Amino acid sequence: MRVSTQSPGHITGFFVIYPNGSTGAGINIEGGMRTSIAAARKDSFMMNGKKRKLIVSEKTVDLFRRKTGKKGKVAVKHSTKFPIGYGLGISGAGALSLSIALNKLFGTGLAKNEMLEIAKRAEIECGTGLGDVVAEQFAGIIVGKKPYPSKSAHRINTREKYVALGFFRPMATRKIIRSAAWKRKINRTGMECMRAILNGMTVNNFMRLSRRFTVESGLGTRQILMVMGKEQRASMSMLGETVFMPAASPKKARKELGKYCKRTMIARIARKGACLL
């Protein structure tokens, strides 16, 4: 028996860090991670057809076993079209899609929140993320709901169906989210942005606040700030040296970002959250 699942990726515009997670606002994008698993003689992990050391996936399997008592070995195959480490929530998408697949394969009957908690803990313990997993349950452009850290989300309606992406370099998420100094900067500006978005849940307000957060948090790099100065609807995807821009005309937006970034992509805004296939 082989089980297949998928999860969107997640572009975070701004966020607040809590001891047990985070909350924020962002865009879920299709094609984050597709995962397939099957019973095997020993554990194995592959990404895009190559065997790799995947610490978040290994941690997810470990936490699942501790939670359920199931000891069966699994062959895990992940695939994504996006680069990893560029602030698109790909490790979270891998953890969540894997947790859902494990539950189905072993027939453990875990509730949705239990599968989510396994994936979230895997990310936090590995230092690769805080709240992407929670966000990736959903479709579209979302804002975390109270109480924080969020377990559910408001949805922002938009006519734009795509996001243009421009990549510079990956960033070390772990160093930032585990730094007390960075937490203070992030939380001061992030909380102000969370209050402001609740007063106007529109795409324009989301982008305005994402840009504000990028500047005031100090996370925006020289190249990111340069692009933002040229493109008034561009901002930074947290936490990666990646610029994003919602677009009704994706080819045009990609061409614009191509003026500054050697590598660009178009992503469709997700129409469904993480689920079985």
Q: For residue range 104-123, list pLDDT tens digits in order.
A: 999 999 999 999 999 999 99
The HSE-up count of residue 143 (CA atoms within 13 Å, CB side) is: 23
Residue 166: closest CA among 101, 249, 231: 231
Report whether 57 contacts 12 (CB < 8 A): no
Q: For residue range 202-240, list pLDDT tens digits in order.
A: 999 999 999 999 999 999 999 999 999 999 999 999 999
In a 10 Å sphere around its CB, with 0-12 CB exposed, 13-18 middle and 19+ buried, how is residue 180 labelled? exposed
Report whether pLDDT(94) > 90.
yes
- Domain at 1-277: CATH code: 3.30.230.120
Please report which confidence band the pLDDT of residue 172 belongs to, taking 50, 70 and 90 as the band edges: confident
Report whether pLDDT(9) > 90.
yes
- Which pLDDT does position 153 carry in this prediction? 95
Find all residues with CB under 8 Å of 230, minimum gap 6, and list them: 259, 260
For the chain, the domains span 1-277
- Residue 83: DSSP 8-state: P
Report whether pLDDT(184) > 90.
yes
pTM for this one? 0.95
Please report which confidence band the pLDDT of residue 175 belongs to, taking 50, 70 and 90 as the band edges: confident
- Which pLDDT does position 78 carry in this prediction? 98
